[in-house]
Amino acid sequence: MLYTTYLVLVYLQICLLLTLFRVLFYWAKKLYRTKGFNSPRVVVIGKDKNLQKLRRIFDNPEYGYQYMGYFDNVKSNSSSCLGNIESSFNYIFENNAEEVYCMASKLSKAEIQYLMKIADNSLKRIKIIPDNKELFSRTMSLELYGAVPILNLRASPLDLDYSNLIKRIFDILFSSLAILFVLSWLTPIVYILIKLDSKGPLFFKQERHGVNRSVFGCYKFRSMTKSTTSDTQMATKNDVRVTKLGKILRKTSIDELPQFFYVLMGDMSVVGPRPHMVVHTQKYESSVDKYLVRHFLKPGITGLAQIQGCRGEIINRSDIVNRVRYDIFYMEKWSLALDAKIVLLTMYNAIKGEESAY
């Protein structure tokens, strides 16, 4: 036990030091760039609606760019318009532009190939802004199957075995500690209180959808009276099914703690998209765009959507849409630091009590 505790403390110290290093490095780089260093000279070839978005980046000194202007065949009185596309080829060399951003929507295939050729032979970096917004506005990764390039259109850091291993180690350590140091003494107390408060078992079991839409039995401390609608109807504000003790259990999220056993067994994660009732998955998978994307991951006891206030009763369509957006963002941006942040904020919210937890 002491050895396990020691390993956990060492692990937490390493995470803290790495986080501190990243923060210090970020601020040092930010200061360095505001002083005019590490700032490549950039030009844009072609003008479409993406140019304005790029300018917000280029014109901010913290990002470290020296924006020189753009080229387009449509005449403009703007001081940042440097001429037509054909004149850009000489300008790049004469003014030592280091990075060239090309709007694919405004350039022909031949022009892009020519720019790639001169960039590769003149130490210039060329970057393409694609014209297919739907395809390229998501997180992607390029994979090589032999010599065949493959675009993975729903990439996640958790696609890597290493990342999955790190997350699994975190899940095992955290769930083990929660079971040993919290559930071991809390469960008997909750059992007594539930028996004094209402008739019924200690646990409530409900079928929910997990990773790859697999069904598993999700256990919680019982917070409601027995009802025929338990597997189909979410708790609502002032729900008569919720017991007096249940209101406290739900407000503090104590009712969710038995799910740490599922984390230890590998059916769930500490952090991930919250598992929904089977009937709700069947309802939303056909009516909410990208709903099933969240099922690429193991469900979590808590998640990014929950700490953002997206929990509890689904009243409006936006309630479920926002949850899906947060879940997809989490999947695409996962990191161990993000998991740690979500866990800490969940603990804070549990102590404070959440308005939407009823």
227-264 pLDDT per residue, tens: 666 666 666 666 677 788 878 888 888 999 999 999 99
The secondary structure element, H or E, covering residue 152 is strand 148-152
- Tens-place pLDDT, residues 155-214: 899 988 889 999 999 999 999 999 999 999 999 999 999 888 888 888 888 889 999 899
Handedness of CA 217, 220, 225, 230 (dihedral sign): negative
Sign of CA dihedral 185, 187, 189, 192: negative
CA distance 241 to 230: 9
d(CA 330, CA 332): 6
Q: Which two tokens stand for residue 207?
A: 């079928």
d(C-alpha 140, C-alpha 231), whole Å: 37
Q: Which residues of the chain have pLDDT under 70?
A: 1-8, 36-38, 132-137, 227-239, 354-358
Distance in angstroms (rounded) separating the CA atoms of residues 155 and 82: 38
The pLDDT of residue 238: 65
pLDDT of residue 187: 93
The amino acid occupying position 235 is A
Under CATH, what is the fold of the domain 39-137?
Rossmann fold (3.40.50)
Q: Judging by beta carbons within 10 Å of its beta carbon (0-12, 13-18, 19+), is residue 334 exposed, middle or buried? A: buried
Enumerate the domain spans of the chain: 1-28, 39-137, 159-352
Residue appearing with tokens 């609606």: 49
Integer Cα distance of 20 and 312 in angstroms: 34
Distance CA 170, CA 278 (A): 28
CA dist 37 → 30, 68, 120, 124 (Å): 10, 16, 24, 18
Longest Cα–Cα distance in the chain: 84
pLDDT of 130: 81
What is d(CA 166, CA 294) in angstroms, rounded to the nearest whole number? 20
